Amino acid sequence: MAVEVIHEGATILLRLSNGPVNALSVGNGFVGDIMAKVRLAVSDPACRTIVVTGAGRMFCGGADISDFDGDPAQIGLLRDLIAAVEDSGKPVIMAIHGMALGGGLELAMAGHVRIAQAGSRLGLPEVTLGLLPGAGGTQRLARLIGAGAALDMMLSGKPVTAERALSLGLVDQLVDGDVVEAALEVARNAPPLRRTGALPVPADLGEAIEGRRAKLRGGLSQAPTRIIDCVAALSDDLAAGLALEAELFGELMRSEASRGLRHAFFGERTVARIPGLSGDVRPREVRHVGVIGGGLMGTGITLALLNAGVPVTMVELRADALAKAEASIRKTIQRDVEKGRIDQAVADARIAAFTPATELDALSDADLVIEAVFEDMGVKKQVFSALDAITRPDAILASNTSTLDLDAIAALVADPSRVVGLHFFSPANIMRLLEVVRGRETAPDVLATAMAFGKRVGKVSVVSGVCDGFIGNRMFEEYLRQVWFMLEEGALPQQIDAAMERWGMAMGPCRTMDLAGQDIGWAIRKRRAVEQPDRPYSGVIDRICELSRFGQKTGKGIYVYPDGRTAEPDPEITKLIEDYSAEIGLTRRAISDEEIVSRCLLALINEGARIVGDGIAYRPVDVDMIYLHGYGFGRERGGPMFQADLMGLPAMLDRLRTLAAGRNGWAWTPAPLIEQLAAKGGRFEDLNIQG
Residues binding ligand 3HC (CB under 6 A): 20-21, 23, 61-66, 75, 99, 101-103, 106, 125-126, 129, 131, 133-135, 137, 266, 269
Least Å distance, CB 229 to ligand 3HC, is 15
The residue from 86, 106, 316, 326 that is catalytic is 106
Quote the CA–CA distance of 282 and 271 in Å, as a whole number: 18
Least Å distance, CB 445 to ligand 3HC, is 21
* Residue (53 or 332) nearer to ligand 3HC, CB: 53
| Parallel/antiparallel/unpaired status of strands 368-371 and 396-399 | parallel
* Residue (67 or 570) nearer to ligand 3HC, CB: 67
* C-alpha to C-alpha distances, 120 to 26, 92, 102, 123, 360, nearest whole angstrom: 25, 20, 14, 10, 45
* Residue (125 or 469) nearer to ligand 3HC, CB: 125
Least Å distance, CB 143 to ligand 3HC, is 16
Least Å distance, CB 144 to ligand 3HC, is 16
DSSP summary character for residue 553: G
Q: Which residue's C-beta sits nearest to ligand 3HC? A: 102
Whether residue 416 has a cis bond before it, omega within 30° of 0? no
Helices (H), 273-318: 296-307
| Parallel/antiparallel/unpaired status of strands 2-8 and 11-17 | antiparallel
Beta bridge partners of 551: 556
Q: 589: left (phi > 0), else alpha (psi -120 to 50), else beta?
A: beta
Least Å distance, CB 80 to ligand 3HC, is 12
Radius of gyration of the chain (CA): 28
Active site residue 106: yes
Helix H, strand E, coil C: the string for 487-522 is: HHHCCCHHHHHHHHHHHCECCCHHHHHHHHCHHHHH
* Residue (126 or 570) nearer to ligand 3HC, CB: 126
Least Å distance, CB 129 to ligand 3HC, is 6
Quote the CA–CA distance of 234 and 231 in Å, as a whole number: 5
Torsion of CA 5, 7, 8, 12, to 10 degrees: 60
* Residue (99 or 406) nearer to ligand 3HC, CB: 99
Determine the residue type at 663. R
Least Å distance, CB 153 to ligand 3HC, is 13
* Residue (129 or 448) nearer to ligand 3HC, CB: 129
Q: 517: left (phi > 0), else alpha (psi -120 to 50), else beta?
A: left
The residue from 126, 326, 478, 636 that is catalytic is 126
Least Å distance, CB 263 to ligand 3HC, is 12
> Widest CA span of the chain, in angstroms?
92
Burial of 343 (0-12, 13-18, 19+ CB in 10 A): exposed
* Residue (62 or 493) nearer to ligand 3HC, CB: 62
Residues listed for the chain: 691
Residue 45's Cβ-side half-sphere holds a number of Cα atoms within 13 Å equal to 0
Closest-CA residue to 473 (of 437, 419, 502, 504): 437
Quote the CA–CA distance of 324 and 625 in Å, as a whole number: 34
Helices (H), 339-405: 344-352, 377-390
* Residue (23 or 406) nearer to ligand 3HC, CB: 23
Other Cβ atoms less than 10 A from the Cβ of 592: the count is 11
- One DSSP character per residue, 437-466 reads E--SS--HHHHHHHHHHHHHTT-EEEEE-S
* Residue (484 or 642) nearer to ligand 3HC, CB: 642
Active site residue 126: yes
Least Å distance, CB 576 to ligand 3HC, is 49
Quote the CA–CA distance of 673 and 653 in Å, as a whole number: 11
Q: 157: left (phi > 0), else alpha (psi -120 to 50), else beta?
A: left
* Residue (62 or 670) nearer to ligand 3HC, CB: 62
Closest-CA residue to 538 (of 550, 547, 528, 548): 528
Quote the CA–CA distance of 143 and 288 in Å, as a whole number: 52
* Residue (105 or 544) nearer to ligand 3HC, CB: 105
Least Å distance, CB 277 to ligand 3HC, is 15
| Parallel/antiparallel/unpaired status of strands 160-161 and 121-123 | antiparallel
Least Å distance, CB 52 to ligand 3HC, is 16
Question: Active-site residue numbers?
Answer: 106, 126
